[in-house]
Structure 1
Amino acid sequence: MTEESEPLDPLDLQIESRNQRRSAGRLWQLVRRSTRLVWGSGRLLFVGLLVVQVIAALVLAGQVLVVESFLSAVLELGPGGGVPTVLVAATLGLAGLMAAAALLDSVRGSMSRFLGESVARRTYQDVLDAATAVSLRHFESASFYDRLQRVEASATSRPFQVTQALLGIVGGLAATVGVGAVLAGIHPVLLPLLLLGGLPMILTNRRESRREFQFMVAQTPRQRQRYYLSYLLTTRDEAKEVRAFDLGGPFRSRFDELYARYLADLARHLRRRLALSTVGNLGSAAVLTGTLLVLVTLIGRGAVSVAQAGAAIVAIRMLQGQVQALLRGMQSIFEAGLFLSDVDQFMDLAATARDEEEGDPAPPTFGEITVEDVRFSYPGSATEALRGVDLRIRRGQVVALVGENGSGKTTLAKILAGLYDPSAGAVRWDGRDTRAYSRVSVRDRVAVIFQDFVRYAFTARENIAFGRATADPDGGRVDEAARRAGAADFLEALPAGYDTILSRMFKGGRDLSGGQWQRVAIARAFYRDAQLMILDEPTAALDPRAESALYDSLRSVLAGRTAVFISHRFSSVRAADVIYVLDQGQVVEAGSHDELMAREGMYAELFRLQAAAYLGDPGVPQAR
């Protein structure tokens, strides 16, 4: 098996950002990527915005021409000569163009906002798809969570930034061409001088963008800690313990400390960005000053008339704003490009996972599952969670996994369920390695309920039907699964029956007890109707009577299906066909209850210890 690569850590990402090529080719690559993203999210709206940008640029150029006409008419006025028609027309034209510019700006803002949200939606959909596709192994890595948080934020904000920047570039280019043509018509030397004013900002903007990305990468771990503390202080399930142990003050203090460190780092970061921005703007202002001095010289020589000079000043002011908008757009795309590259690398994790999980469809059933010398290590751990595990599960058997905490039971269950691939060794269905099958099809043949199952804040019907999610849950199957799990009576008694939301977070919702929730989770597994059922501590929240009833009926409700269940209660596993005892990641014993008791090994010792806790006599033998 190929080991899955770990996400880049913050230092790797900072080095990567510094090593990106500083070239027009890099900008062109980012523009192409951004254009594809925006085009795929709303092509008609994008085309409409481009049209609006071009019209707005023509309106700006028209204003310069009308200003020149207006000034010429004003300069030709004589005392008592009245107001000539050309001046009235120029005034009305200037007013109309200014009104049109304001209206176009309003339309552009509304359209770009909607397009930006459409782009964010598409990107966020891709992120969610990737997050559910990556191997479960990645969720054991802190660096993966850092990247996931950055990507989630980037997916909602950076595409909008790209959209705005891209449209700003288009508008800036169109306006620069239109107004620049007018300015060049006044005198050809003015335009190149003004464009030179953007050079200092180009040099500083790139450094600002890299600093922003490096700052966000460095801050991500502490941001995650802040969000976690906020979660602890504001969520329902944690509220009771926070109050019981009076943890509000300590958690709040820790939150404040982290936020204070963030603000201190932010202030230092903003000072550095401001210094770079100041250098760029001062350089640009120096070039603008030189351009205006050249214009004054041209007026003095008579190369430019007074009316043309007035129009040129208006054009220079407009063009300076458009060039700055163009450069800001480039900076935004460079900056967003660093974050979107982070998104792309996250998507690559999902693509790699999909490639690794491809294979033939798994058979609908099996005769035997064998686990051969399976080893497994969690990312970042030097200790193997499983060390050469061997076991055999025949069709229709009830198999139990027992052992002390940390012995590897749940890890082995995850491997049997197809959630993890072993680091070494193999799991075989009828002799064939399950890695030869599509992992999705393997998981489709398995129903697994873990001890920390999810309590979905949806209806009871949906909570059960999530065992095999489809557009329309099968009501008959929901009822049958609830009945087999012993959940039908209390679910039917809810205010809206199976259509009651199982959470007090939403209006009309009701909560369940721990034992009732556990029965709903078991019903979810039954609803899946899989050939292999894996139940991790399925009775941990049940009272002794309910636990006994469930195990007594386990074979009948399984209806010939294969079951693997994990339990700390040794009295619960006595009826299993085979019991595997795990210790420190290895199978140390296997057999039926009677066989293991007769062997006087670890199982017998642990069984008697538990019996003594109930009976109060460590010498009492096990009940037969």
Structure 2
Amino acid sequence: MRPELGSVLGRPPDQPFRLRQLPGRARGALSVLGQVTRLAWRASRPLTLALGAMSLLTGLVPAATAAVAALVIDAVVVAVRDGPAGPDAGGRILLLVGLQFLVAGLNSAGGAVRSIVERLLGDRLTLTVQLDVMDHASRLELPFFERSSSYDLLRQAQQEAASRPMSMLSLTFAQLQGLVTLVSLGALLFGLSPLLTLLALLAPIPVFVSDARFRRRMFEFAIWASPLRRRMQYVSNLVTTDTAAKEIKLFGLGPHFVDSFRTWGEDLYRRTRRLVTARNLGIAGWGLLATGLGSLGFLYAVRQALAGRLTVGDLVLCSAALIGVQAAAQTLLLGLSAMYQDSLYLATLRSFLTVPAGAEQPDGGQPLHPGPGHVVFENVSFGYPGSPTLALHDVSLEIPPGTTLAVVGRNGAGKSTLIKLLCGLYQPATGRVRLDGQDLREVAPDRLRAEIGAVFQDYVSYQATAAENIGLGDVTRLDDRTRVVASADQAGARGFIERLPQGFDSQLGRWFGEGVEVSGGEWQRIALGRAFMRDARLLVLDEPTAALDAQAEFELFERVRRLAAGRTAVYISHRFSTVRQADRVLLLDGGRIREYGTHDELMADNGEYARLFRLQALAYTETPGPLGTGGSVPPGRKPGPGPDAEPGPDVSGPGPSLTHATT
């Protein structure tokens, strides 16, 4: 069944708005001015200066237009009153009309230039913020990406980064323009009637209070709904990409996911509709009150004109200034409300950008000293955040330089965790990991990882060319085709890549251009080629052959043994015929070391490793019977594995997988 929105997220927040909150919200809104200006300055100083100048210029235009219009009307009235005997009213009128045309032309040209500059600066600002988000995300350590709350924070920062900067920029400089308009028109109106000026400034306040109340609720609703929107995006990606296409087709999951998306989307829509409708009806209602107050102000100005205290031109100026001041004040106040919402987003962005990027080291971390690849685990324990149990318990282990170590164990034994600690992706809770005598905590993470070539069980299939897929293993040599081809050859990928339509320049994957899809085993060989791009002292392979056939896996590890000469190699594999080729074997059980030694030593000990090895070897020695009935035991062999069983055959070729699951 599809969970309803409320059961997924609980009730949305609905905190009441209080007038005493206005000063704090105003400070938060005003802080946006400085923050956005600094961001814009970073994006482009010339464009920021140009946009500021255009905002000042266009902000003065309404006052200039109203003043010139008043002068024109008064000149016309004088010309009509005095007739032909009067002074040269025609020349004055033509001069004023020309001035009015000039003001209108400047307004039009200034508006066009402002639009161009604002768009260009907005694009630069958006790019700057997106780069900030991506750059910081690229430097965050692995634990951040394994928490649900982290994904919510990242989604909020990432989703808004594409549109919010442009909105903030437009709003910030619109506030500057509105302030100039308010001051200039307000000065004109104040010269005619201080009372009308006060009325125009006070009328928009109820609209502002109403809008501020709903802005906060809308932001809280967006934060509350973020996990669900992320869930909807996930379901959408399942249906619209090739990642899960086979299972969705086979199990008929398409209608289920579409229906789930529709249910969640419609529930979100209903809640959003209620919030948006209430906000806009409230603004419309208070806006009518403001309009009524403006009409009363105009009637007051008409009475002043009838009493002879205002000229016709003054009346026109008063009307334009009254409407303009009221509109500018309302725009500024509503802008402050919107800027308060922007300040909430900026707080979210700052929360993300201030997440610590790994362990803080005052000197940035020590360089990694040259060495042969001597690895030591000293009493290492580790537990994943939020998990009540430890993934590794008091592990002490030495891997001599140049040794090939195979790590085996059941599901959840801690094999992949051991690999992550060795790669510096996690830090031990207790104990330490040393590489050539250095504690990995003291080494700069990027310097450590530059010395490691790795293939993980969930390797990435990049939607890029075959050459780029391999070259990404060492971006400093991404364009070194000789090195790329050599790495592909070492991984056994060169042959099938050269048979692709454009060889190493063939686009892999279906997402872009005329891409070519390759098999899972071929993708895995490409990932191995990526690991071979580095001249690393450590080679780490976490289930690197899960998608390879038995012969390809056997040939791969033969290559690994040759290529790892003089380097330390650690790999996880569930095929014991491959494991036995390692110099040493480590058996983990429940996060603890159960057995450690060479294959022959562990077989001679006749412990758990020997039992698992013989159990897997039975698949090659039993005569299969009917499905589900087992098989017969070959002549000369005692039945079943166990302490009294005879040693298994010398399985020199690849064997079946112990388990397909991984830690």
Separation of aligned partners in 2, 1:267 and 1:340:
25
Match of 1:264 in 2: 270
> One-letter code of the match for 2:75?
A
Separation of aligned partners in 1, 2:510 and 2:351:
39
Distance 1:117 1:565, change over 3 A: same
Separation of aligned partners in 1, 2:39 and 2:359:
23
Give the helix-richer structure, 1 or 2: 1
Q: Is the 8 A contact 1:578 1:591 kept in 2?
A: yes
Q: Is the 8 A contact 2:414 2:590 kept in 1?
A: yes
Separation of aligned partners in 2, 1:358 and 1:279:
59
Counterpart selection for 1:51 from 50, 53, 60? 53
Q: CA deviation at 1:281?
A: 2.9
Match of 1:372 in 2: 378
Q: CA deviation at 1:472?
A: 4.6
> One-letter code of the match for 1:623?
P
> One-letter code of the match for 1:148?
L
Q: CA deviation at 1:148?
A: 0.8
For residues 414-433 of structure 1, give each alpha carbon's deviation from its aligned partner in whole angstroms, at most 9, with x where no partner exists: 11111111222211123432
Give the root-mean-square deviation of aligned CA atoms. Answer: 2.7
Instruction: Find the residue that maps to 2:368 and give its secondary structure.
Output: coil
> One-letter code of the match for 2:649?
A
1:65 maps onto 2:67 in alignment = yes
* Structure index of larger Rg: 2
For residues 436-494 of structure 1, give each alpha carbon's deviation from its aligned partner in whole angstroms, at most 9, with x where no partner exists: 11111111111111011111111111111111112753222212211211112222222
Match of 1:166 in 2: 172
32-41 vs 207-216, which deviates more? 207-216
Match of 2:250 in 1: 244
Match of 2:567 in 1: 561
Distance 1:13 1:29, change over 3 A: farther
Separation of aligned partners in 2, 1:80 and 1:196:
41
Instruction: Find the residue that maps to 2:194 and give its secondary structure.
Output: coil
75-84 vs 165-174, which deviates more? 75-84
Separation of aligned partners in 1, 2:438 and 2:421:
15
1:213 maps onto 2:239 in alignment = no
Q: CA deviation at 1:299?
A: 2.9
Match of 1:517 in 2: 523
Counterpart selection for 1:475 from 455, 458, 481? 481
Separation of aligned partners in 1, 2:291 and 2:619:
84
Match of 1:29 in 2: 31
Structure 1 unmatched runs, 5+: 1-8
Match of 1:402 in 2: 408
> One-letter code of the match for 2:111?
D
Instruction: Find the residue that maps to 2:541 and give its secondary structure.
Output: strand
Distance 1:580 1:276, change over 3 A: farther
225-234 vs 281-290, which deviates more? 281-290
> One-letter code of the match for 1:520?
I
> One-letter code of the match for 1:152?
Q
Q: CA deviation at 1:118?
A: 1.0
Distance 1:601 1:279, change over 3 A: farther
Instruction: Find the residue that maps to 1:383 and give its secondary structure.
Output: coil
Q: CA deviation at 1:362?
A: 1.5
Q: Is the 8 A contact 1:172 1:325 kept in 2?
A: yes
Alignment of 1:12-411 (within 5 A): 22=24, 24-78=26-80, 84-274=90-280, 276-278=282-284, 280-282=286-288, 284-285=290-291, 287-351=293-357, 355=361, 358-411=364-417
406-415 vs 506-515, which deviates more? 506-515
1:427 maps onto 2:433 in alignment = yes
Q: Is the 8 A contact 1:589 1:596 kept in 2?
A: yes
Seq. identity, %? 36
> One-letter code of the match for 1:325?
T
Instruction: Find the residue that maps to 2:274 and give its secondary structure.
Output: helix
Distance 1:154 1:504, change over 3 A: closer
Q: CA deviation at 1:296?
A: 3.6
Match of 1:5 in 2: none
Counterpart selection for 1:596 from 602, 616, 620? 602
Match of 1:535 in 2: 541
For residues 260-309 of structure 1, give each alpha carbon's deviation from its aligned partner in whole angstroms, at most 9, with x where no partner exists: 11111212221342355346535544543453344244334433222201
Separation of aligned partners in 2, 1:100 and 1:106:
10
Distance 1:263 1:549, change over 3 A: same
Separation of aligned partners in 2, 1:20 and 1:136:
41
Separation of aligned partners in 1, 2:323 and 2:282:
23
Separation of aligned partners in 1, 2:38 and 2:13:
25
Q: Is the 8 A contact 1:582 1:589 kept in 2?
A: yes
For residues 51-71 of structure 1, give each alpha carbon's deviation from its aligned partner in whole angstroms, at most 9, with x where no partner exists: 112221222221111111122
Distance 1:352 1:294, change over 3 A: farther
Q: Is the 8 A contact 1:196 1:287 kept in 2?
A: no
Separation of aligned partners in 1, 2:191 and 2:582:
93
Instruction: Find the residue that maps to 1:504 and give its secondary structure.
Output: coil
Q: CA deviation at 1:376?
A: 2.0
Q: Is the 8 A contact 1:134 1:353 kept in 2?
A: no
Distance 1:500 1:60, change over 3 A: same
Q: Is the 8 A contact 2:373 2:567 kept in 1?
A: no
Q: Is the 8 A contact 1:457 1:505 kept in 2?
A: yes
Aligned pair count?
Answer: 615
Q: CA deviation at 1:247?
A: 0.9
Q: Normalised by the size of structure 1, how large is the TM-score?
A: 0.92
Q: Is the 8 A contact 2:13 2:217 kept in 1?
A: no
Separation of aligned partners in 2, 1:526 and 1:20:
61
Q: Is the 8 A contact 2:200 2:322 kept in 1?
A: yes
Q: Is the 8 A contact 1:154 1:340 kept in 2?
A: no
